[in-house]
Amino acid sequence: MIQRLNRWLERQWVTPAFGALLLGGLALFFFGAAVNSMSGWLYVMTGIIVALLLVGALTPARMIRGLVMTRLPIRPVSVGDVLTLELELSNPSQTPRALITLKDHLPPGLAQQAPPPHVIADLPTQTQNRYVRKIIPTRRGIYHWEKVTLRTAAPLGLFWCQRAWSVPATAVVYPIVLPLQACPLLDQLGQETSQRWVDRQYQRQLATEGLTRSLRPYRWGDALRLVHWRTSARYGELRVRELDALSGGMAVMVSLDVSGAWLPDEFEQAVMAAAAIYFYARKQNIPVELSLGDVEHLINETAILRALAAIQPQPQRPQSPPPIQTPILWLTTNPTSLSQLSPSSSWLLWPGPHQVEGINNLPMNQLTPGRLINPGLPLQPQLERQLDNAWVSSL
């Protein structure tokens, strides 16, 4: 209760430090001695101590009053990358400020790496102080917070004062996108569509003028066979042919089953798999769509990464494979949903600890091609492993 009272006093007014309590005790001692002895100098000492306590109690709140707090935009990053947080504290008044600590109250997902409070030794008039902290997020998500506190006991260090600022912040942490070199499950979906993809790749390799839609500046990684040398000589820089995307039929849908009893680590692996397979398909120019529960038909890359960062399992929401005839790559932890897939579909199954019996009862000879994922093994080699039969297990 004493600690809660101290925190409340510090946020609403001030709370005394040890030095203030000591001086208060001395003031009472001198005042009692002055009353008993009627000595003037003891009254003077008491008055001086009381004046110091008043100054120490009134100045801390004025030290942080009138300051302006601004948060700079936070750039989205992926898991394992450096997330940079920047705050700018400005002093627009004509009074210099000093000895202030700044603390940014991060949300629980990021608070595991919460940095120590930032100490501002001196903040002259009409100046700014930049607070920059770098943390490495370990889990994807969209994090929201707004509380920033300033705390000071300046100038005498007798009383602590703390005030909160509302500075809204949003940090987006994308899942890791694995650089897949192959994905047999995706490559074999839909025989007719796959053949059209092969034909398109062959025509792109031939790269005749009739397939050229426009010319753009060369980017690192572009094939030299796509360079338009005549235009490059005219402009003095490399120009690359941008080819028309040939229709490959209906798009493959990568669908993540958000229902079911997902384990946290397995669901994170499923999100990573969905991201890796989707961007692998984009890299291979395979028509692909992404379905994440209620969120479907995402096209913009930024919107896709943001949706992947925000998606969470919804055990109370029933979900089954989309009832469409297009090829589906179904990512799930529910083995009973595999029998509902269309013949041209595939699946990835994360077998939770309570799904073993359901897996053993599956009609393996009637299932479409798929793979069991072992959460204890690296994900990328399991996605790149070649298929040798209709039922492929990594366990």
Strands 77-78 and 239-243: unpaired
155 upstream amide cis, omega within 30 of 0:
yes
Question: Which tens digit of pLDDT belongs to each residue from 287-311?
Answer: 888 888 766 566 678 888 999 999 9
The neighbour count for residue 190, using CB atoms within 10 Å, is: 23
For residue 84, list its beta bridge partners.
134
Task: Kindly state the average pLDDT of the residues 249-259.
Answer: 79
Residue 359 has pLDDT above 60, yes or no: no
Task: Kindly state the average pLDDT of the residues 332-340.
Answer: 81
Q: According to the model, what pLDDT value does residue 159 have?
A: 93
Task: Kindly state the average pLDDT of the residues 360-377.
Answer: 72
Confidence of residue 333 (pLDDT cuts 50, 70, 90): confident
Task: Kindly state the average pLDDT of the residues 55-75.
Answer: 92
Distance of CA 316 to the CA centre of its chain: 25
Q: According to the model, what pLDDT value does residue 391 have?
A: 47
77-91, 226-240, 277-291 — which one is most confidently predicted on average? 77-91
Residue 363 has pLDDT above 60, yes or no: no
Cβ burial 340-359 (10 Å sphere, 16+ → b, else e): ebbebbbbbbbbbeebeeeb
Q: Which residues contact 200 (CB under 8 A, 6 or more apart)?
A: 245, 246, 248, 285
Question: In the structure encoding, which two tokens stand for residue 214, read together?
Answer: 């426009």
Residue 375: burial class (beta carbons within 10 Å; 0-12, 13-18, 19+)? middle
Question: Which tens digit of pLDDT belongs to each residue from 183-214?
Answer: 888 877 744 454 554 555 555 555 444 455 56
**Distance (Å, rounded) from C-alpha 384 to C-alpha 343?**
22
**Distance (Å, rounded) from C-alpha 350 to C-alpha 355?**
9
Q: According to the model, what pLDDT value does residue 208 have?
A: 46
Overall pTM surpassing 0.85 (yes/no): no
Q: According to the model, what pLDDT value does residue 27 have?
A: 92
Residue 68 has pLDDT above 50, yes or no: yes
Q: According to the model, what pLDDT value does residue 127 have?
A: 92
**Which CATH number is 68-174 given?**
2.60.40.10
Question: In the structure encoding, which two tokens stand for residue 347, read together?
Answer: 């699946």
Question: Which tens digit of pLDDT belongs to each residue from 102-142?
Answer: 999 999 888 776 667 889 999 999 999 999 999 999 899 99
Q: According to the model, what pLDDT value does residue 320 have?
A: 58
Confidence of residue 262 (pLDDT cuts 50, 70, 90): confident
Identify the residue whose tokens are 């060369």. Answer: 218
Question: In the structure encoding, which two tokens stand for residue 49, read together?
Answer: 């101590």
**Distance (Å, rounded) from C-alpha 270 to C-alpha 313?**
11
Question: Which tens digit of pLDDT belongs to each residue from 374-395?
Answer: 888 899 998 888 765 444 443 3
Confidence of residue 281 (pLDDT cuts 50, 70, 90): confident
